[in-house]
Structure 1
Amino acid sequence: MNAPHPRHLSIHDFTYPLPAERIAPEPLPDRAASKLLVSRNGEISDKSFRDLPQELPAGALLVFNDTRVVRARLLARRPTGGQVELFCLEPVAPHRSLELALQQTGQCTWRCLVGNGRRWKDGPVTLDFTTADGQSATLWAERQVQEAGTALIAFRWTPAELPFAEVLRAGGHLPLPPYLGRLDTPTDAVRYQTVYAATEGAVAAPTAGLHFTPELLAELAERGFSTGHVTLHVGAGTFQPVKADHMADHPMHTEPILVSAALLRQLLAHRPRPVLAVGTTSLRTLETLYWLGVGLLQSPSSAAANTESAELRVTQWQPYEMAETAATISPETALTALLDYLEATGTETLQASTRLLIAPGYSFRLVDGLITNFHQPESTLLLLVAALLGPQWRDVYDHALAYGYRFLSYGDSSLLLPGLGEAK
């Protein structure tokens, strides 16, 4: 009997009781001091995150998301003194490319969430700030188009030679998860970034990586574990609640990914040894790679004609719709197709976007295990964990609740190894 299509899943079947006091409000003083729940072949044990190297399967490759969180929350003032919050979601003009938009000088337009904007009528709101080198600066923001839930905001600033990335760094706040209900602090400036964060663009941290320290990464290398990096710029949609009863009515958010040809070659060379994703964003990026390769193989004429204006992407339901036709395409073949595409287009970096929704019924192609925090009830992240573990996800969450684990972004961690053998 075939499993039901994930479109028909009720989000209400993926819930659990989460008392407010179990949500971690602050990070621990020591990143690696968090607890680590290990679920190996359905057997659960309690460890410290420092024990991770001893718990990993032999020969594992760990893939990290190296995105860096930008200070995308701007607190501006109306002429009458009232505060308006602008949460920058994605660039619109003159560039839609995140990398180019952050380097834009003088003026730009972004799609934003607007908080406390009911009394913001015509005219700009302003934000005065000081740059890293001590210059006084001012940002003006004007609402152009109001859309469902968001608005297009035109920004201009002086000194005009400042890139928008510097405007955000100097004048913005880290966009902490809304359930924390507080502004960022100097501690968050350090602890809401991973120690390996490199590429600016996320508006939320890939929180599974917050537990790693330089010392722990060095120990992984000493023990012979391989590591690799991808980039998925985490969007505000990661906090978006599933409001629909069934997943067919939930639009999955789009997020940009960047993957080097070197990482594709590393994955090819590593197979068939286990690949572990550090975080749900790394997992979604890795699984997206397979479906991008399948898409290129099934539409070779369009791939050959692909130009900079034609973006590679994976849609929300694509893997489920293509499952039968992709059954004969191995991960190695899909990765090779991506490398051939990069060679044909003369680039070493794959740029694409993904709306991939991983839910029970999904078959994993590249990922064998996951390091991740404990996620909100009725969330797409919990659906992903349920897809990986099957019904046993409930045992994991019941255990975490019973044994004092801390939940959500600043909470404790888990190592999920369905079908993998003993540790190295």
Structure 2
Amino acid sequence: MMQAANSTVDTLLPHLFRQEYAKLTAVLSRYFGFEHIEVAEDIASETFLKATEHWPVHGIPDSPAAWLYMVAKNKAKDYLKRHQLFESQIRAEIGRGETVHTPPFEFTEERIADSQLSMLFAVCDPANPPQVQVCLALQILCGFSVEEIANAFLSNKETIKKRLQRGRDHLRRGHFRLQELPDSVLHERFDMVLKTLYLLFNEGYFSQNEDAFIRKDLCSEAMRLALLLAESKLTGKHQASALLALMCFQSSRLDARTDDTGQAVLYEDQDRSLWDQFLMEKGNYYLFKAFETKAVSTYHVQAGIAYWHTTSGVEKWPHILQLYNQLVVLEYSPATAINRAFAVAQVHGFDRAIAEAEKLNLAGNNHYHGLMGYLYSPVHPERALFHYREALTSARSAVEKKVLAGKIAQLTAP
């Protein structure tokens, strides 16, 4: 029985850690001040350590999350008593004429949501490059280890450690207060917050990890934070709803993008019965909310494209092409241009798509070569082979390499 209990604890704690560690850290940081984030992280870690020691002996509590919050609250109070943080630092600040309001120390749903939202805006400091902001978001807001972040970015742990250290130094020097978000901060950082969540989601959806074609953990964390953003009275703007709609539509097809062995399944070959109807409905809901105003962002357009990809029938492709035409004007990127060329092929045929794709001047892009291999396959197999082989030489994901190798094998078969 004890072994069974320990097994249950070992299964439950990693799940709880992913869900609750960031919430604990956010509320504790709000209480102590962002400059003492290491203290908050230490207390959150000690809380989970106590759970690993206590639960196997005394059993899992009826409400594990509430138990964690209570332990963290008690540890925070003990810390204040031991180090007299209020007397030695906060009161000193007040003595210099600056009013400091220490928020009530409670783990209510509202307090947790407000603290995480404030932490999200703190992490998206313009002083840090976007890639550093994503790393900080993964560590501080999602509870990812340095090793997990290194795996996500195909980097080594030392590089990620240095990146995080530089990012944290900027955050400390910024003296960001985890209180009510002023309008100036909302206006200054809102676009960067959206971009950070977009990059985080894309890293999961189009993972460059050698072993994993999709990182569902990154996608789910990005969606969790986007939902927090979209549902807040302060930040529930149309762009946030559009971004969340995009994530819902894309995530609805995650289970169909790989087969039972983890290999990639191309869009046209996906089993539509595996598409998540609930997420598609949520995508429709947030897309409708996003268009309650006339303003249109790149997230609106991308969400519209993702919506049409969840529908059936060839009549969707003219709508998708029209949206890609709009997206190229709003924000050009090689990926957008390549995807637009694919849509051109579906609407106007492969010859026209080849002519437009060749004008892109993207010979160094492996996705461009993958597209050209697809477009040339029915009309010029030799050229298709050239492009598929070019794509294979620069592909990073093992799953992507296997797909390309399969295309080459089909073209070279007798």
Per the normalisation by structure 1, the TM-score is 0.25
Q: Highest relative contact order (Cα 8 Å, sep 6+), 1 or 2?
A: 1
Between structure 1 and structure 2, the one with the greater Rg is 2
Higher helix content, 1 or 2: 2
